[in-house]
Amino acid sequence: MIRFGVIGAGRIGKVHAATIAANPKAKLVYVADSFKASAEALAAQTSAEVADAEDVINSPNVDAILIATPTPSHADLIEAAARAGKAILCEKPVSLSVERINACLDVVEKNKSTLMIGFNRRFDPNFASVEARLRRGDVGDIEIVTITSRDPTPPPADYVKSSGGLFRDMMIHDFDMARFLMGEEFVVVNALGSSLVDKAIGAEGDVDTAAVQMQTASGRIAVITNSRRATYGYDQRIEVHGAGGMLAARNIHATSVELSNANGVSGDPVQYFFLERYAQAYANEINAFIDAIVSGNRSPKPGGLDGLQAQKLAEAATVSWQTGRPVQVA
């Protein structure tokens, strides 16, 4: 029985707490949140106790820590939990700074900690199926990975200010997905960006519409496009073209219902809300983390290096967009 402490009782923390509570191999022991009322509400729902983050991390009754706090605290909490000998699942990103990530991963490594990073999309059944079939060779050698990722509505300009920018905040998921699918590191990144959706985003020095193309050492290509707004829902598609064919994961619609009339044939919009679209992914993610601990796997994927690599690509894309030139990635 893996005993969990959840730090951060916001939207993601709640989702994960419910999954932990329902998993027979795990038990939710403590909930911490700097906003006490949130911690108490979640603890009440899941029969857990409220405690301070520090106490949770250092409790002898806790085996694993879920970190679902705001980004700035991630690296510190990871280090503390690593020093306390806990297994750690931390929401992405470890940090917006590549340097800080490196320092943090050093601590993790020194303590031989188990660290998994919450790139939830790897656990979406559709994308996971594509990846498994790629590894099985269903389309042979991979040549082009295409990722389309569009949010339903743009964030407030206020959020944008502290987000690190679209490439670090939003496309980070796609950088991880591109690496996950390609199975080879990218060596060059080209980025274009524009503020077409909301001028307030542009005024904050960020973009809301972007395209990135990347190439691996062996010449394989990935293309990512992002938009902060899609009227038709949360657009999340991947497509992988290889020597033997193409694998694609389509969007998920609210129902399978179609209306045919004089205007044509019409189906439901794409699922709108990320927690709905990725509900299964979030559950599969934490269950995979629990299975890794139970089975003694000290390096569940995606791990700290995956967090680092995605951040490096986000960094490179940001610089490429700012300078209008391709950026090499080590």
Burial 292-301 (b: 16+ CB within 10 A, else e): bbeeeeeebe
Which string of x and - marks every residue 7-46 that binds its own copies (by CB under 8 A)? ----------------------------------------
330 binds its own copies (CB under 8 A): no
Minimum distance, C-beta of residue 165 to its own copies, in the bound complex (Å): 16
194 binds its own copies (CB under 8 A): yes
Minimum distance, C-beta of residue 49 to its own copies, in the bound complex (Å): 18
**Site size toward its own copies, by CB under 8 A:** 69
199 binds its own copies (CB under 8 A): no
Phi, psi (degrees; rounded to nearest 5) at 146 = -120, 125
By CB under 8 A, which span of 28-36, 89-97, 164-172, 227-235 interacts with its own copies? Answer: 227-235
d(CA 326, CA 330): 13
Of the candidates 31, 56, 80, 270, which one interacts with its own copies according to CB under 8 A? Answer: 270
Token reading at 39: 């911690």
> Which residue in this structure is represented by tokens 């179609």?
258
210 binds its own copies (CB under 8 A): yes
By CB under 8 A, which span of 65-73, 89-97, 176-184, 205-213 interacts with its own copies? Answer: 205-213
284 binds its own copies (CB under 8 A): no
Which string of x and - marks every residue 229-258 that binds its own copies (by CB under 8 A)? xxxxx-x-----x-xxxxxxxxxxxxxxxx
The end-to-end CA distance of the chain, in Å, is 41
Q: Cα 284 vs. chain centroid, distance in angstroms?
A: 13
> Which residue in this structure is represented by tokens 């950088």?
175
* Residue of 24, 6, 18 lying closest to 86 (CA atoms): 6
| Element (DSSP H or E) covering residue 193 | strand 186-194
137 CB-side CA count, 13 A: 0
322 binds its own copies (CB under 8 A): no
Decide whether 36 or 250 has the Cβ nearer to its own copies.
Answer: 250
d(CA 6, CA 227): 32
135 binds its own copies (CB under 8 A): no
Burial 61-73 (b: 16+ CB within 10 A, else e): ebbbbbbbbebeb
Of the candidates 157, 188, 279, 319, which one interacts with its own copies according to CB under 8 A? Answer: 188
Amino acid present at 234: Y
Token reading at 260: 């045919």
Residues in the site for its own copies, rule: CB under 8 A? Answer: 125-126, 129-130, 133, 138-139, 141, 143-144, 146, 148, 150, 188, 190, 192, 194-197, 209-211, 213, 215, 219-221, 223, 225, 227, 229-233, 235, 241, 243-270, 324-326
